[in-house]
Amino acid sequence: MEKILDGKRCAQFYYERLERAVQDLKEKGKTPKLVVIIVGEDAASHIYVKNKEKAAQRIGIDSETVYLPKETTEEELLRYIHHYNSMMEVDGILVQTPLPDHICEAKVLEAIDPRKDVDGFHPHNVGALYCGTPQSYPCTPLGIIQLLKYYDYSFEGKNVVVVGRSNIVGRPMAQLLLKEDATVTICHSKTKDITSYLQNADLIVVAIGVANWLQPEWIKKEAVLVDVGMNRTKEGLRGDISKAAQEKACAYTPVPGGVGPMTIAMLMAQTVYFAQQKEG
């Protein structure tokens, strides 16, 4: 396994295959379409959305972005979602989070048609994931799995520690790792003696949003490190894993250029998959 797990390189590998799949669909008269809805002026969210638009253009799918002011009511946002749910030509719908405080995120995610839920956050799709029969996956955990597979990482029997228990990364990450026959431990802010778990881990996925949190003395040299953190510091963009821990590890994902590109690639892949399902 290479020392640096390059998410940009792996994403390019997927984009080349997705471009061919999109061309096949177009020859059958179908162009996949993704709709992204963003509410408010969160700077990071707008950057993510622009990157998604570029990725969609790159592989040849239609992409529509709906920009709504932060004053948009929950009822108005739900009307937009229902409108796109009803449009046959729309294959994927994504509502960018975080949402303004006055809008209930759970209600919004539940409103998206599960068959268009490219983020994999609808309760129906979450339940299917936990039952081992997923139709849609959360894009970041899926991207991590595909990135490691690209580098021929074998999950079977490995001790894996996931640090963080969010619904976006930590919890679904554990489910996908179990599906790959790994032995999984989830650690979080209430875990006692967390280093005892980390020191025995073959693979560590860190998603807590604390810059340079993971230290070299907590890991073994054979460990593979996956960094989901994106923290803006005085020194620039930093992940949750310290440089010293990266240097000690067997392999690691960089920040930026590791998990992020794969998250967007998986969003495109799931949009194409939903379009293919309609054709089938």
* 86 assigned binding-site residue: no
- DSSP of the chain: --SB--HHHHHHHHHHHHHHHHHHHHHTT---EEEEEEES--HHHHHHHHHHHHHHHHHT-EEEEEEE-TT--HHHHHHHHHHHHT-TT--EEEE-SSPPTTS-HHHHHHHS-GGGBTT--SHHHHHHHHTT--SS--HHHHHHHHHHHHTT---TT-EEEEE---TTTHHHHHHHHHHTT-EEEEE-TT-TTHHHHHTT-SEEEE-S--TT-B-GGGS-TT-EEEE---EEETTEEE-SB-HHHHHHSSEE--TTTSHHHHHHHHHHHHHHHHHHHHH-
Please report, as a single letter, which amino acid is at residue 197. Y
Q: Which residue in 33, 91, 96, 117 is the catalytic one?
A: 96
Considering 91, 116, 117, 119, which one is annotated as catalytic? 119
| Residue among 33, 52, 116, 248 flagged as catalytic | 52
52 in active site: yes
154 annotated ligand-binding residue: no
C-alpha Rg value of the chain to the nearest Å: 19
Is 96 an active-site residue? yes
Active site residue 23: no
Query: Which residues make Cβ contacts (< 8 Å) with residue 111, sequence separation at least 6?
Result: 78, 81, 82, 85
- Annotated binding residues for NADP(+), written as ranges, equal 164-166
- Annotated binding residues, written as ranges, equal 164-166
Active site residues: 52, 96, 119
